[in-house]
Chains A and B, each alone.
Chain A
Amino acid sequence: MVRFILNGTEVQAEEGSTILQVAEAHNVGIPTLCHNKALEPAGLCRMCTVRVSRGTWSRLVTSCNYPVADNIEVVTHSEEINKHRAMIVELLLARCPNNDFVKNLAAEYGIFSPRFITDDDDCVLCGLCVRMCERMGPRAIDFSGRGTGVEISTPFRMKAEVCAACGACASICPTGRMKVKDITDRPIMPIPAEFDVGLGNRKPINVPYAQAVPNIPFIDRTKCAHFINGGCKVCAEFCPTGAIDHTQVDEEIELDAGAIIVAPGFRIFDAKSKPEYGYGRWPNVITSVEYERILSAGGPFEGHIQRLSDGRKPNRIAWIQCVGSRDPAIGQDYCSYVCCMYATKQAMITKEHEADIDTTIFYIDMRAQGKGFDRFYERARDETGVRYIRSMISRIVPVPETDRLLIGYSDSQNILREEEFDMVVLSVGLCAHPSTGELARLLGVDLNPYGFAKTDPMDIVATSQPGIYVCGAAQGPKDIPDSVQQGSSAAACAMSLLSEVRGSLIDPPPQYDERDVRGEKPRIGVFVCHCGINIAGTVDVAAVMEYAKTLPGVEYAFHPMFACSTDQQKEIRKAIEEHRLNRFVVASCTPRTHEPLFRNTLRESGLNPYLFELANIREHDAWVHQSAHGAATEKAKDLVRMAVSRVSLLEPLYEYSYPVVQKALVIGGGLAGLTAALSVAEQGFPAVLVEKTAELGGNARNLFYTEEEGAEPARYVEELIRKVESNELITVHKEAEVVSIKGACGNFSTIISAGGKDVEVSHGVGIVATGGREYKPTEYLYGQDERVLTQKEFEKLLVQNPSAVKDIENVTMIQCVGSREPENSYCSRVCCTSAVKNSIKIKEINPKVNVSVLYRDMRTFGFKELAYQDARRRGVRFFRYEEDKKPAVEQKADGLDVTFQDAQLLRPVTVKTDLLVLSAAIRPPETTARLAETLRLPLDQDGFFLEAHLKLRPLDFATAGFFLCGLAQGPKFANESIAQARGAVSRAATILSQKEIVAEGVVTQVDPALCRACGECEQTCLFDAIKVTQVEGGKRQAMVTQALCTGCGACNAACPTGAASLAHFRDGQIQAVIHAF
């Protein structure tokens, strides 16, 4: 350690540090120009000159490279030094009178026109670029010449071969003079940001995308200069916490695992494989993923829609569907499932951004088979004004001498048309990710011909290897909810194998004794966080800290680089101990990110975690006031003052825990319910299964085969029933229904009426699997003519009495019976595939039969497309009709005449048929509405149960503790129901596996002295958490069930006397903040 005097104050510093470093550490600003802390100091600009004296010896030195020594006296600012600095600046201004950087610098010194004869240069020869280049490795540039002729150049001013075009020189150049193109002919190779699919660039060190987990940067070794040539390491110099370690090497980690879940995702189809669309040649032909990034506010253009050719807003955008999907010519036979919907979404968002952009989607079939999808499509078409044109596009032609693109198509009247577009988006399909193949080889897992994991037809997460599961798009193209469901399903399957060792690797969190701070005067600690430069770049954190020290009650304040870092948690604990603090304020970021961390630190320090307050000086201040440094600092002071005033009044609060009843209630005994009950049991928990009919199995009993080979749902469900009924952990109630329910997540009490008797069941969770039913059509002579069947009836006929169809000549199917109509505007998802599979079946039984399928959009999504192709190959005829021109069925002696307007031929067609098969919709059971009311669970517009979030939480209800699966949620295939049921169990197990549940401490508390038992609160509470109850002494008073209270505060507002108040947000605490402001 060296001691010396810095501007009159004695300071200590590490031996070997420079004056500049020490000054910076003591917040003494010394101007620099050629200094960069990543680089060796050069002392060229001389701006950092200071005076160093020892005794009678005294001289001017450059602080950037002068090593501190004992007993020296350093003066960083004086009239003399300032004059010299100003002269340096004036000289530079004379050199570069027209350079903005130099002009601004000079203006800081009050110099606007130099007294010297001027040149017109824009290089201040600070040499940063030279040193940076040296550090990066190539040493492509250096000072050359001497005297006034000195310049920065490559050897002999020739374009440098050694230059890697990394751009470090240009990026560090303060004046903007340095240009990579002056150094080398090598093209600048920006690193395309993978997440922006190359539309934006990234650095070798980067966070791949904003939501990355973990959200910390990584170094791309293939691009990092250090890993390429051993140089650079600049990042390590700048990292304030010293977190960067270039010596880290890849580790091989050996894990013992009882199950493996494979989820490598997908890659998008390479649009260059469809050269007729000109992707890669015409700049304004882009892929849908690129367009997705263009639309994104976090994308390369911040959400401003623009063309890649000229950055201008396009007026007309076209989407071309099925690029790389449903295309046997290039081996992409299958449907990619998601493209119809994402194109629709993109078109809608486009309209939201720029209502005047024309959006046109060219498609083959509009496949909106997911829950809610059809409504979305209709809204896009009918309300938003997205134009849909059913036409295969064979090529895109550039319009000569423009950046526009010409698309030819045939319209609904079969007229060939041509239209020009400013931009064309190719809706590219989903392909197997290359790593799926590698993993499959490694794990011995079979793949399908398209490189996706091959799975069991009934169990879509089970691979060919027992114990290895797959989920997400690695199994096949799918949308988000399916991925979420199947992810949970895979987890449940894995957990079934591992239920015995559940929780065995968990270390229980340590317990800390809590200090009683009641009666103590507030002793507050304050951290004002730099957040790197996030805050400190705008807010003078040191000033805010000094200010905090002046606030009443504040005993300690500090300004750490990162308050959230592990070492700072130690500092907080140390400060609390040393200064006997009883409250703490951190002025940093939003509570959403780090409040739990700091609360935990308080807990570890022996303080109640609620005696903590965050002042958000980042999102609320530094980030939004970047151009107003002074004002931002003042605002930060305000925010800190408000937080301090509030923290002074905060009270210790206690979280409440209650035991979990580790038992599940499964409502519905169909395929989903049975699977769920069995899965719960496989997790090691008891289940109670409630079936309203006398028989288990539901619809699956009449599902004999699927479009995939080897699947027999009827047989599967029989086996399932056997397993359920023989499982000791499962109690089955048939002819039973739920009568009432009370309690909260983890602890419900439900009355079941079974066989006329009421049974009370205690359970921690509930799974709704009440199934669906096939719509009984009223149209097309169904019920009036026995030759009119539903698909389900037809399937049964094919299986149970194939001879009945052996000799018939014509079978006609009508799709969308009861589906996609104004009153039932949803797609039943399964009917197209059912029609296809039954067509194939009858063709197998009776190859001579004519099968005609009358459809609106063939929605054989994913690999089901293969069955559709198969049916067509077998001669099944597909006729498309328009929604408003439904077929007419007439009884004739020799059969039925089905007449319809063929949408392709544009003329009426009549087919004679012996059997008319109606693809009838799937409807929720009639009892659903009543059950929903009993369970207080919501239904959607179509009467199916409504999940917490259509995309992200498809298995959960908004109400904690209840989950859903199977047809109860919406139409789906049998294997999807199975996967969903297991997924729901997986979700439920997150609660079942806990012994107790912790409820937040921020709940309403009732002051008995003020409560008049008026019941207003009870009326208001949406959660049944507050009730007027008789208490001891006969008095009536509102009582809060802590476990149910969500801390919403609604009862506080309703309470006329102020008896109900929300802890942590009491009037006094809020008022203190307001007054402090």
Chain B
Amino acid sequence: MRIKSREDLLAVGKKALDQLYNPPVLKMNIGMASCGIAAGARASREKALRLSESEGFIVSDAGCIGFCEQEPLIDMLSPGMPRVMFKQVTEDRLEDVLEAYRAGRFDHKSVLGRMKHPESIIGEVVGLTPGASQSNGGIPELESIPFYSKQYKIALRNCGYMDPASIDQYIARGGYFGLFECLGEKDPGRIIDIVTASGLRGRGGGGFPTGRKWATARHAPGEPKNIICNADEGDPGAYMDRSVLEGDPHSVLEGMVIGAYAVGASQGFIYVRNEYPLAVVRLVGAIKQAERYGLLGDNIIGSGFNFHIKISTGAGAFVCGESTALMRSLEGRVGRPRAKYIHTVEKGYHNLPSVLNNVETWANVPAVIMKGAEWYASFGTEKSKGTKVFSLVGKIKNTGLVEVPMGTPLREIIYDVGGGILKNRKFKAVQTGGPSGGCLPESLMDIPVDYERLSAAGSMMGSGGMIVMDQDTCMVDVARYFLQFLEEESCGQCVPCREGIKQLLRILTDICAGKGKDGDIELLEELALTVNGLSLCALGGTASNPVMSTLRYFRDEYVSHIYDKKCRAGVCKGLFSYAINPDKCTGCRLCAIKCPNEAVGGEKKKPHSIDQDKCIQCRICYESCKFDAVEIK
């Protein structure tokens, strides 16, 4: 069936509304994004399917709703029952949870909360709303728990709220109405104006104004023009794009079609890393569905506009996320960056005008179109509009995917959304912007997060990775860690990046090994300047950031490594020792029992001590002591 009119679309949407909000029987939405699967959702789902055969309830997949920490998450809704999100529903707990839900027992240990607003932000614009609201059953609303209360979901608007394999459900959530609005009614220039006015900037990290990019492409000579979706998300600890593709692939497709129409492109590519198999599956399915409906391909919605999307899978090179490298890779060549003195938007894929935006940017586009530029621009700061998705990881309580308005202070993200530091240890730094981002200290916790302020602080927005570090993190080691990543992932073409990172890493490795020497800090600084200043692409151009930002905010750690030969965080082996504080030790023997090398000695109920000759610094005693008696010296 091809959808030719808005009425057709609305009809499809209406038909699917009940699937979303008012199923005839019990419906189980299982979080089947990678995070859920990793936590065991697949087994839970299989069990649920088995049970459903006899018990007659509906099992449906859903994307990641963000609270990855609590996966597998299962959202249950049933006529006349409150809609409840159960957490950590592993296979063994499934039957209990089902029973509890049916019985109306909503134990706080298994319940995450209740979706107060499961409806789409676009739904109401197009007249697709859930209808009657359900009873609350006294369950806390998801939106009221700190993790959710500070978030506003635009890019992630459908993730976790619908079956990503169902185009009908996407339509029911207001999907593809933006496409109709643009192809049916809007002049391409007008679309670009809206996107420009919204203030949407590239969410891949560069932050280039999307509208301006499109306008340039629209006027650049060369046919055919290309629309490219960068789904080569490679930052360690960042998975925003994966979640969108796994949870809401159509939003990306719709955004791309709108973009293609705006700039006059006829071919599109999604460059997705092959390490995201589920995302690829979702995309392939979504493209087929959209093509079947006539929302993609030739003569889209009968408008005469043709646009095809092909999927290209990357082979795991981090640098292929760089636009020029990505395009070379798309062309079938080795993905290595080139100088961007002539922008890819003018001469990109096969030297043709090419608009490259990342997944999150594309996902934002339909919302911008449907809700309007003004609405979008109402979020955020002066120069950074809208919301931004962050993957919050590290030594933080609520690891997960969060989408907050631009300008939200770091402290709110970490302490309110993220729930603070694990084990209530001391916060030390937050690393933003992926491997070549910077580490920001406690003193900068109150800066509002936007492109400019993060850059000014020596870090960057990047694609949205946010790694929280506590007192047990050695900042020299962190710099070393990221440099090691970059050393491996540098394409190796240009001298400052290849040789410079190598030497930065060697110096850092030496420092971490206690072989740091006078002058190392100055040499690091001097070399870092050349690496950042002269490298060919952004990878090298930001590669020194981990060193420069840690030197800027944690210089004392370098000093103590080099001159005192001490790693106060207890990370760099050989530069610290474990000692038992006799005042705190209760002589419980736990550490002694756990020590693999029998280094802990002492009698029961008497303070223990550690034999330094035997200690292999495995950290087990430190982690296991319940009284903080094991200390780092």
**Interface residues in chain A, defined as those with a beta carbon under 8 Å from any beta carbon in chain B:** 42-46, 49, 60-62, 65-67, 83-84, 87-88, 91-92, 94-95, 115-117, 124-125, 127, 142-143, 145-150
Which residues of chain A are within 8 angstroms of B334 by Cβ–Cβ distance? 142-143
Distance (Å) between the CB of A549 and the closest chain B CB?
38
Which residues of chain B are within 8 angstroms of A150 by Cβ–Cβ distance? 491-493, 498
Which residues of chain B are within 8 angstroms of A149 by Cβ–Cβ distance? 488, 492
Distance (Å) between the CB of A94 and the closest chain B CB?
7
Among B338, B342, B496, B506, contact of A88 (Cβ-Cβ < 8 Å) = B496
Closest 4 CB pairs of A and B: A150-B492, A91-B499, A87-B530, A46-B534
Distance (Å) between the CB of A105 and the closest chain B CB?
12
Task: Please tell me if B3 contacts chain A, counting CB pairs below 8 Å.
Answer: no
Q: Is the CB of A91 within 8 A of B495?
A: yes
Task: Please tell me if B314 contacts chain A, counting CB pairs below 8 Å.
Answer: no
Task: Please tell me if B339 contacts chain A, counting CB pairs below 8 Å.
Answer: yes
CA distance A66 to B319 in the complex (A): 22
Q: Is the CB of B341 within 8 A of A125?
A: no
B residues 487-504 touching A (CB-CB < 8 Å): 487-496, 498-503
A94-B499, A147-B498, A148-B498 as given contacts; A84 in contact with B490, CB under 8 Å:
no
A44-B536, A115-B523, A116-B503 as given contacts; A61 in contact with B495, CB under 8 Å:
no
CA distance A452 to B490 in the complex (A): 70
List, sorted by A's number, 6 A–B pairs whose CB atoms are closer than 8 Å.
Answer: A49-B534, A60-B533, A62-B339, A67-B341, A84-B529, A88-B534
Distance (Å) between the CB of A31 and the closest chain B CB?
13
CA distance A147 to B494 in the complex (A): 10
Among A43, A117, A124, A142, contact of B339 (Cβ-Cβ < 8 Å) = A43
Q: Is the CB of B492 within 8 A of A91?
A: no
In the complex, the chain B residue whose C-beta lies closest to that of A33 is: B495
CA distance A149 to B499 in the complex (A): 11
CA distance A84 to B531 in the complex (A): 9
Task: Please tell me if B336 contacts chain A, counting CB pairs below 8 Å.
Answer: yes
Which residues of chain B are within 8 angstroms of A125 by Cβ–Cβ distance? 492-493, 495, 498
CA distance A389 to B519 in the complex (A): 81
Distance (Å) between the CB of B531 and the closest chain A CB?
9
Which residues of chain B are within 8 angstroms of A94 by Cβ–Cβ distance? 499, 503
A88-B495, A95-B499 as given contacts; A146 in contact with B341, CB under 8 Å:
no
A66-B341, A88-B495, A125-B493 as given contacts; A146 in contact with B503, CB under 8 Å:
no
Which residues of chain A are within 8 angstroms of B530 by Cβ–Cβ distance? 83-84, 87-88
Which residues of chain A are within 8 angstroms of B494 by Cβ–Cβ distance? 43-46
Task: Please tell me if B81 contacts chain A, counting CB pairs below 8 Å.
Answer: no
Which residues of chain B are within 8 angstroms of A147 by Cβ–Cβ distance? 486-492, 498, 501
Among A83, A92, A117, contact of B495 (Cβ-Cβ < 8 Å) = A92
Which residues of chain A are within 8 angstroms of B501 by Cβ–Cβ distance? 147-148
CA distance A247 to B338 in the complex (A): 32
Among A67, A88, A145, contact of B492 (Cβ-Cβ < 8 Å) = A145
Distance (Å) between the CB of A23 and the closest chain B CB?
16
Given contacts A43-B338, A84-B529, A88-B534, 10 further A-B contacts (CB under 8 A): A42-B493, A44-B495, A44-B536, A46-B496, A91-B495, A91-B500, A125-B495, A146-B317, A146-B319, A147-B487
Distance (Å) between the CB of A224 and the closest chain B CB?
27
Q: Is the CB of B341 within 8 A of A91?
A: no
Distance (Å) between the CB of B490 and the closest chain A CB?
5
Distance (Å) between the CB of B377 and the closest chain A CB?
26
Task: Please tell me if B527 contacts chain A, counting CB pairs below 8 Å.
Answer: yes
A92-B499, A127-B493, A150-B492 as given contacts; A117 in contact with B534, CB under 8 Å:
no
Distance (Å) between the CB of A893 and the closest chain B CB?
107
CA distance A117 to B515 in the complex (A): 12
Which residues of chain B are within 8 angstroms of A44 by Cβ–Cβ distance? 493-495, 536
CA distance A150 to B489 in the complex (A): 10
Task: Please tell me if B185 contacts chain A, counting CB pairs below 8 Å.
Answer: no
Which residues of chain A are within 8 angstroms of B336 by Cβ–Cβ distance? 143
Which residues of chain B are within 8 angstroms of A145 by Cβ–Cβ distance? 492
CA distance A142 to B333 in the complex (A): 11
Distance (Å) between the CB of A200 and the closest chain B CB?
38
Among B492, B519, B527, B534, contact of A148 (Cβ-Cβ < 8 Å) = B492
CA distance A391 to B502 in the complex (A): 74
A46-B495, A46-B496, A60-B534 as given contacts; A148 in contact with B502, CB under 8 Å:
yes
CA distance A83 to B527 in the complex (A): 10
Which residues of chain A are within 8 angstroms of B495 by Cβ–Cβ distance? 44-46, 88, 91-92, 124-125
In the complex, the chain B residue whose C-beta lies closest to that of A64 is: B339
CA distance A146 to B503 in the complex (A): 16
Among A61, A91, A146, contact of B496 (Cβ-Cβ < 8 Å) = A91
Which residues of chain A are within 8 angstroms of B493 by Cβ–Cβ distance? 42, 44, 125, 127, 143, 150
Task: Please tell me if B526 contacts chain A, counting CB pairs below 8 Å.
Answer: yes
Which residues of chain B are within 8 angstroms of A45 by Cβ–Cβ distance? 494-495
Which residues of chain A are within 8 angstroms of B342 by Cβ–Cβ distance? 67
In the complex, the chain A residue whose C-beta lies closest to that of B333 is: A142
CA distance A60 to B494 in the complex (A): 15
Q: What are the interface flags for B237-257 relative to A under an 8 Å C-beta threshold, 1 for contact and 0 otherwise?
A: 000000000000000000000
Which residues of chain B are within 8 angstroms of A148 by Cβ–Cβ distance? 487-488, 490, 492, 498, 501-502
Distance (Å) between the CB of B495 and the closest chain A CB?
5
Which residues of chain B are within 8 angstroms of A83 by Cβ–Cβ distance? 526, 530
CA distance A44 to B501 in the complex (A): 15
A88-B496, A91-B495, A92-B495 as given contacts; A146 in contact with B488, CB under 8 Å:
yes
CA distance A787 to B275 in the complex (A): 115
Q: What are the interface flags for B522-556 relative to A under an 8 Å C-beta threshold, 1 for contact and 0 otherwise?
A: 01001101100111100000000000000000000
Which residues of chain A are within 8 angstroms of B489 by Cβ–Cβ distance? 146-147
Which residues of chain A are within 8 angstroms of B527 by Cβ–Cβ distance? 87
CA distance A91 to B526 in the complex (A): 12
Q: Is the CB of B490 within 8 A of A146?
A: yes
In the complex, the chain A residue whose C-beta lies closest to that of B530 is: A87
CA distance A142 to B493 in the complex (A): 11
CA distance A935 to B319 in the complex (A): 92
Which residues of chain A are within 8 angstroms of B499 by Cβ–Cβ distance? 91-92, 94-95
Q: Is the CB of A117 within 8 A of B488?
A: no
Which residues of chain A are within 8 angstroms of B536 by Cβ–Cβ distance? 43-44, 46, 62
Which residues of chain A are within 8 angstroms of B491 by Cβ–Cβ distance? 143, 146-147, 150
In the complex, the chain A residue whose C-beta lies closest to that of B534 is: A46
CA distance A127 to B501 in the complex (A): 19
Q: Is the CB of A87 within 8 A of B526?
A: yes
**Which of A44, A127, A146 has the largest number of chain B CB atoms within 10 A?**
A146
CA distance A66 to B536 in the complex (A): 12
Q: What are the interface flags for B560-599 relative to A under an 8 Å C-beta threshold, 1 for contact and 0 otherwise?
A: 0000000000000000000000000000000000000000
CA distance A490 to B492 in the complex (A): 69
In the complex, the chain A residue whose C-beta lies closest to that of B491 is: A146
Which residues of chain A are within 8 angstroms of B506 by Cβ–Cβ distance? 116-117
Which residues of chain B are within 8 angstroms of A142 by Cβ–Cβ distance? 334
In the complex, the chain B residue whose C-beta lies closest to that of A86 is: B530
Q: Is the CB of A143 within 8 A of B492?
A: yes
Which residues of chain A are within 8 angstroms of B487 by Cβ–Cβ distance? 147-148
Which residues of chain A are within 8 angstroms of B535 by Cβ–Cβ distance? 46
Distance (Å) between the CB of A18 and the closest chain B CB?
9
Which residues of chain A are within 8 angstroms of B496 by Cβ–Cβ distance? 46, 87-88, 91
In the complex, the chain B residue whose C-beta lies closest to that of A66 is: B341
A67-B341, A143-B336, A146-B489 as given contacts; A84 in contact with B317, CB under 8 Å:
no
Distance (Å) between the CB of A713 and the closest chain B CB?
80
